[in-house]
Amino acid sequence: MGFLDALLQGFAVALTPTNLLLALFGCFAGTIIGALPGLGPVNGVAILIPLAFSLGLEPTSALIMLSCIYYGCMYGGRISSIMLNIPGDEPAIMTTLDGYPMAQAGKASEALGISAVASFAGATFATLGLTLFAPLLAKAAIHFGPADYFALYVLAFATIGGITSVNPFKTLLAAFLGLMVASVGLDPATGTPRYTFGSYHLYDGFDPIVAIVGLFAISEVLVYLERLNFSDARMVPLGRALPRLKDLLSGGWANLRGSVIGFVCGILPGAGASLGAFMSYIFEQRWSARDGKFGKGDPRGIAAPEAGNNAASGGALIPMLTLGVPGSGTTAVMLALLISLNIQPGPLLFDRQPDLVWGLIAALYIANIVLLVMNIPMIGLFTRMLAMPQWILMPFVVMVSFLGVYSISHSTFDLFVMVAFGVIGYILRLIGISLVPIILGLLLGADMENNLRRALSISNGDFTFLFQSPIAMGLYALTATMLTIALVLSFRRSGKAENA
Amino acid sequence: MTDRIVGALILALSIWYGITAGSYEASFGDPLGPAAFPIMLSIPAAVLSLALILRPDAEPKWPSFWPMMRQAAAIALLLAYAGFLEVVGFPLATFLAVTLLGRLLQTTWPKAAISGAVMSAVLFITFDYLLDLPLPLLPEFMS
């Protein structure tokens, strides 16, 4: 059993004082970031990446801290869903459906407890899955050649919007925009400057982290400024300080069902936690809602989506670590971090840097236990954070974004670029173009082009080489299937909208 | 209409992108060269932006006049902050930016000013001293 030794080795890495401290900090900060409305996991991880740089952390430590923030956000997102009926982040939307009614019925602390247990179940299930499946996938992925990688990227871009996106054309367009932005700078193979307008600032291209902070954090501030007049949410009282054990476990088997569904959704490229929560809730509703209690505060309606979104976020780490293709927005941001630290995720990561991979996995087990403890007895502390006024929070987010970006390059040019990306991000969000495919394009563009060029230099310019390997063909077949499903669903949806 | 305008802009961008790529020359030993991949991107991007023009979604809800003014003011403020950060130094620039942002977020002058003062001090100490990230302290003409 090689992986047990590896896991033990991982715990040795994760339990060093620095890493343990960073994990605790990550869990705490993550829960707060997830809980505050408007600061989701993508924003939270994006604005803290520069912090990881400025602390001069080892790649392993940086990754442990950010992954714990990521897990923490998934726990924290539910808090404002339940207390305010405002999801703290996108994956927590489904939790409002049963969580808020239960809280209104005076059982806020029970709802928070059930969802904490569900989050623990989902995240632990996913971490187990990560332990077992990631090494297997990494072993399989070693056989991927350049043509197969190119096919894999095509699959990732074609499916990033998943089957949930409203308009698949817009999602695809977003991916192409990201790829186009990625080609700015010196061409790595020949040194030709492309789209630089002669400015040396652009020779290195756009730093993905600057773009991410702009697209997500700055555009969020603009979104908030628009909605200013509508925010009069009332917090429900917490009720009992500590929920009873019987109540905590009342989610029952919904915890497990949600975990399985969420985990599968998380592994699929581009689907991520929102889909995990959505599918888990819908399935649970079909499975167990015969008594019509769903939507009125059914514990299973809280447990299923929370288990689902936590399991999905763990699952999304698998393609990110083993293939270098992230399964969600936040894992895309983490990929940006790894690339900036000169670590190329992919199948070789497991061989070359076992400490990083297994240290991370062990840290996630620890994080789950820490988060469960933080989120049941200490929940009162986090609900109090929700009362933080936006006129403090929003300027703080802006300033940390500016400082973070400035600390990477000490160039005011990057600050302007960040603001510009913020404005563009706001407009794209307004018309329903998803930002995640843009980030993915920006991150993977260079690699996609390199693999294409490598494949074609192997074949001396013969394009049919791209379709010769069985792996590539399988990936293209999968791409075609997923695209067809997405298009059919979108046409059916727009047909329904017209009939209604 | 918004979809159509954005679609037209992206279409123009893709065409320019593809044509510009054509001018990049291939070198030896690299059958594809620096031009091929951008050209491969520009074609589907152009087609997809056409789809946006021909089959737009329902009009999104643009912010009304005052919210949009607030956003414009915030963008101007952020650009000014980026431009003046090194000129007037971090503490002063941050104090002004946070105070004005606080005002845009509809709090009172005293509250906004206090949060500006506290935030600029705390962030300066955290980043400059604790994290060892040198930040400009004084305005340029004084240092």
Where residue B46 falls among pLDDT bands split at 50, 70, 90? very high
pLDDT at A257 over 80: yes
Q: What is the pLDDT of residue A48?
A: 81
Q: What is the pLDDT of residue B117?
A: 95
Q: In this complex, do B105 and A180 lie within 8 Å of one another by their Cβ atoms?
A: no
Q: In this complex, do A399 and B94 lie within 8 Å of one another by their Cβ atoms?
A: yes
Task: Summarize the confidence of residues A39-47 as an average pLDDT.
Answer: 80
Using a CB-CB cut-off of 8 Å, the residues of chain A touching B27 are 190
Using a CB-CB cut-off of 8 Å, the residues of chain A touching B96 are none
Q: What is the pLDDT of residue B28?
A: 61
Q: What is the pLDDT of residue B26?
A: 66
Chain A closest CA to B107's CA: distance in Å? Answer: 7
pLDDT at B64 over 60: yes
Q: Which of B20, B28, B41 has the most A C-beta neighbours within 10 Å, making it the best mutation to test the interface with A?
A: B41
Task: Summarize the confidence of residues A467-482 as an average pLDDT.
Answer: 89
Task: Summarize the confidence of residues A157-177 as an average pLDDT.
Answer: 77
Other CB atoms within 10 A of residue A432 CB? 16
Q: What is the pLDDT of residue A500?
A: 38
Q: What is the pLDDT of residue A181?
A: 94
pLDDT tens digits for A427-454? 998 888 888 889 889 988 888 998 898 8
Identify the top-confidence range among A204-208, A419-423, B2-6, B24-28. Answer: A419-423
**What b/e readout covers A480-499, taking b as 16+ CB neighbours within 10 angstroms?**
eebeeebeeebeeeeeeeee
Where residue B78 falls among pLDDT bands split at 50, 70, 90? very high
Q: What is the pLDDT of residue A498?
A: 47
Q: What is the pLDDT of residue A299?
A: 87
Task: Summarize the confidence of residues A282-298 as an average pLDDT.
Answer: 78
Q: What is the pLDDT of residue A229?
A: 54
pLDDT tens digits for A170-188? 888 999 999 999 999 888 7
Task: Summarize the confidence of residues B33-52 as an average pLDDT.
Answer: 90
pLDDT at B8 over 90: yes
Chain B closest CA to A442's CA: distance in Å? Answer: 13
Q: Which ipTM did the prediction report? A: 0.93
Asked if B39 is an interface residue toward chain A (Cβ–Cβ < 8 A), one would say no
For residue A193, the cross-strand partners are A186
Q: In this complex, do A176 and B45 lie within 8 Å of one another by their Cβ atoms?
A: yes
Chain B closest CA to A356's CA: distance in Å? Answer: 24
Could you tell me which chain B residue has the CA closest to the CA of A197? B20
Query: What is the token pair recorded at B1?
Result: 């209409």
pLDDT at A345 over 90: no
Least confident of A54-63, A64-73, A112-121: A54-63
pLDDT tens digits for A80-108? 888 888 777 777 888 888 888 888 888 88
pLDDT tens digits for A367-383? 999 999 888 888 888 88
Q: Which of A298, A407, A345, A436 lies closest to A134 in space, CA to CA?
A: A345
d(CA A205, CA A451): 19
Could you tell me which chain A residue has the CA closest to the CA of B72? A222
pLDDT tens digits for B107-120? 889 999 999 999 99
Asked if B49 is an interface residue toward chain A (Cβ–Cβ < 8 A), one would say yes
Residue A446 CB contacts under 8 Å (≥ 6 apart), including other chains = A182, A183, A188, A205
Using a CB-CB cut-off of 8 Å, the residues of chain B touching A416 are 79, 82-83
Where residue B27 falls among pLDDT bands split at 50, 70, 90? low
Q: In this complex, do B97 and A399 lie within 8 Å of one another by their Cβ atoms?
A: yes
pTM for this predicted structure: 0.88
Q: What is the pLDDT of residue A364?
A: 93
Between A107 and A423, name the one with better pLDDT.
A423
Using a CB-CB cut-off of 8 Å, the residues of chain B touching A55 are 131
- Give how far Cα A174 sits from Cα of A96, A359, A440, B6, B44, Å: 29, 35, 9, 12, 12
- Give how far Cα A476 sits from Cα of A17, A213, A457, B87, Å: 46, 33, 21, 54
Q: In this complex, do A177 and B101 lie within 8 Å of one another by their Cβ atoms?
A: no
